[in-house]
Amino acid sequence: MPYLVTAVVLIAVLCLLNLLLTFGVIRKLRAQVKEKADRVVDGLIIPAGSAVPGFSAVTTAGERT
């Protein structure tokens, strides 16, 4: 019987630890979503469905396109 009580208590503690870690991850993800939304407003990220502005690049051969 003491082994059963010990096992149940251990599983309960592990479940509570998992729940706390899950809440922490959810809070971090919500903060990242809010930060990403702020960057869209600032113009650092192009919103979905908008036209891509003109740009240029340099090839590996050094030619500008």
Contacts of 26 (CB under 8 A, 6+ apart): none
* Domain membership flag for residue 52: no
Query: Would the pLDDT of 43 be above 70?
Result: no
Are 58 and 64 in contact, with CB atoms under 8 Å apart?
yes
Q: Which domain holds residue 26?
A: 1-43
Q: What average pLDDT does the chain have?
A: 87
* Domain membership flag for residue 21: yes
Can you tell me which residue has the tokens 């096992």? 7
CA angle 17, 23, 27 (to 5 degrees): 145
How does residue 47 score in pLDDT terms, banded at 50, 70 and 90? confident
Query: Would the pLDDT of 28 be above 90?
Result: yes
Number of domains observed in the structure of the chain: 1
